[in-house]
Amino acid sequence: MANPNYFAFPGAAQPGGSPYHAPSGLPAWGGGPPPNSAPGYMNPYGTPNQIPSSPWSPLPGSVAPLPAGYPVFQQPAFYPTTPQPPSPYAHPYPVSPEGFAGGLSPLLLRRSVSNPGYGRPGLNGYSAHDPARRPRDWREDYSLKGGLGSYLLRIGRLRSDVKEWTDTTRRTLSALLLYSPSFTHTSSPPIIYDIRNPPLFPSSLSFPKLGRAANELDLAQVILSPPAVVMRLFHERFPWYIDIEATHDNGVTLYDLLTQMFEQLNTQISERHYWNEEMGEQERVKIDEAFRRRVDGREEEVRVGVKRVDFLGDLVIFEGLARGRGGMWEMKLAQRM
């Protein structure tokens, strides 16, 4: 029997039928399972960016159609196979044995023993020896350095153009997302999602506590009470805030959170995000390693280059949100198993 905890995109073939139909123009998932055989178990820790052979998951045939006013969910245009455009920082240099060819597209992630730097400088001339200033689109309280960097952080003098934001209303988070430290010892987290993959892939998303596959009604749930039209996420190892905006008047939904979080995490970085005075050699090595694991040798992903998600290293499994300072929400991430 198929594992009931994984989401199947509406419109995929369902045992017992489904009231949902895929929007026209969406690509097919691929062949289904052999006749008279149950779909296999979908592993949330599987290889990133791989389209499963079948999205079957047992949505009840008796699920009622969406009430009037609920949003109709369609996969964004970049799901699941539309490649991103090549990075403007990729460069038509030949492969460099020093690790980088041109800008941000690592063509061969291997350090050179003879060269402690990381290959050629970027297109704007930035390098380990001539770095850019700290990026102004990083949040003010993000710092990789101790000493003076920590001191400047405490007195609020790190330069940032990011507008700080506070939610003065105390809100309650949906049980489908609310993280508790006890989950790591006694039970499963409320959600298991590999943030390198689109969230509507069955192999990427699981709600262990739900006891069944998520459906459109689950994705349409407003996740904060009282509802909010915007919410801000953060993680200590991630230089950017993630702002989630409601796409409908009823407030931020689970669908809004998952799809917008994926889109922002998988944004290409610019040259100054990699070669800057805040980033040291060790930090760049960790980003390179995360990039290599994520692309797994796929040419199309190599051409896109480094993405924001690579700054998180091996913390790629999203396990929920915890209340943070100023009404923000802290992303709880775990290592890929």
User: Per residue in 52-111, pLDDT tens?
Assistant: 333 333 333 333 444 454 444 444 444 433 444 444 333 332 332 233 333 334 333 333
CA atoms within 13 A on the CB side of 155: 6
**CA distance readout (Å), 126 to 114, 119, 152:** 20, 11, 24
Pick from 50-64, 183-197, 207-221, 225-239: least confident: 50-64
* Mean pLDDT along residues 293-306: 94
Give 202's pLDDT tier (boundaries 50, 70, 90).
confident
* Whole-number pLDDT of residue 89: 37
Q: In this prediction, what percent of the chain has a pLDDT beyond 70?
A: 58
* Whole-number pLDDT of residue 7: 41
- Say which residue, 215 or 294, is predicted with more confidence: 294
CB 80 within 8 A of CB 27: yes
Greatest distance between any 2 Cα atoms in the chain: 66
Pick from 130-139, 206-215, 226-235: least confident: 206-215
**CA distance readout (Å), 72 to 67, 229, 303:** 10, 18, 34
* Mean pLDDT along residues 190-219: 89
3-state per-residue secondary structure call for the chain: CCCCCECCCCCCCCCCCCCCCCCCCCCCCCCCCCCCCCCCCCCCCCCCCCCCCCCCCCCCCCCCCCCCCCCCCCCCCCCCCCCCCCCCCECCCCCCCCCCCECCCCCCCCCECCECCCCCCCCCCCCCCCCECCCCCCCCCCCCCCCHHHHHHHCCCCCCCCCCCCCCCCCEECCCCECCCCHHHHCCCCCEEECCCCCCCCCCEECCCCCCCCCHHHHCCECEECCCCEEEEECCCCCCCEEEECCCCCCCEHHHHHHHHHHHHCCECCHHHHCECCCCHHHHHHHHHHHHHHHCCCHHHHHHCCEHHHHHCCEEEEEEEEECHHHCEEEEEEECC
**CA distance readout (Å), 84 to 80, 87, 92, 207, 256:** 11, 8, 18, 29, 21
Pick from 69-73, 205-209, 284-288: least confident: 69-73
* Whole-number pLDDT of residue 143: 84
* Whole-number pLDDT of residue 160: 87
Pick from 59-73, 162-176, 257-271, 288-302: least confident: 59-73
With 0-12 CB in 10 A as exposed, 13-18 as middle and 19+ as buried, what is 274? Answer: buried
* Whole-number pLDDT of residue 183: 65
* Whole-number pLDDT of residue 110: 33
- Say which residue, 176 or 36, is predicted with more confidence: 176
User: Per residue in 42-53, pLDDT tens?
Assistant: 333 344 444 333
Hey, what are 195's tokens?
């943030």
* Mean pLDDT along residues 152-179: 83
* 261 has a pLDDT exceeding 80: yes
The rounded mean pLDDT for the chain is 71
* Mean pLDDT along residues 171-179: 97
* Burial track 229-258 (b if 16+ CB lie within 10 A, e otherwise): eebbbbbeebbbbbebebbeeebbbbbbbb
- For the chain, which residues make up each domain, given as ranges? 172-267+314-335
- Say which residue, 315 or 204, is predicted with more confidence: 315
Pick from 112-116, 206-210, 221-225, 282-286: least confident: 112-116
User: Per residue in 110-163, pLDDT tens?
Assistant: 332 223 333 344 566 788 889 999 999 999 989 886 544 444 544 445 678 899
Q: In this prediction, what percent of the chain has a pLDDT beyond 90?
A: 48
Query: In terms of DSSP bridges, do strands 224-225 and 315-323 run parallel, antiparallel, or are they unpaired?
Result: unpaired
Give residue 81's identity as a one-letter amino acid code.
T
Rounded to a whole number of angstroms, the CA Rg of the chain reads: 21
Hey, what are 247's tokens?
């796409």
CB 257 within 8 A of CB 244: yes
Give 185's pLDDT tier (boundaries 50, 70, 90).
low
CB 10 within 8 A of CB 18: yes
